Amino acid sequence: MTERVRCAVLGRGRLGYYHAKNLKTEVPGVLLAAVADPTEGRAREIAAELGVEKWFEDPFECLHDPEIDAVVIVTPTSTHAEVIKQAAE
């Protein structure tokens, strides 16, 4: 079996949910490993719905998880630059 890319989705608005669901069900070679959203309860809710073990209320905390290989950034546009910088580090 080929190892899958462990991906996290940061942001769980309408588009974040869409991306998380697609990664979970439609993208070969990807494991949806975590979801993150600062709105209380949202990350936990989507993780439970999609059967994802990890969830974070602090998207930046997710970036430091050594079990995450890649992230899909679906946070508010004004946060993209900072999230990208930290993800790259």
Residue 27 CB contacts under 8 Å (≥ 6 apart), including other chains: none
pLDDT at 63 over 80: yes
The first and second tokens of residue 32, run together, are 């949806």
pLDDT at 32 over 60: yes
Chain centroid to CA 60: 11
- Cβ atoms of 83 and 11 closer than 8 Å: no
pLDDT at 78 over 80: yes
Of 60, 73, 86, 80, the closest CA to residue 7 belongs to 73
- Averaged over 23-27, what is the pLDDT? 94
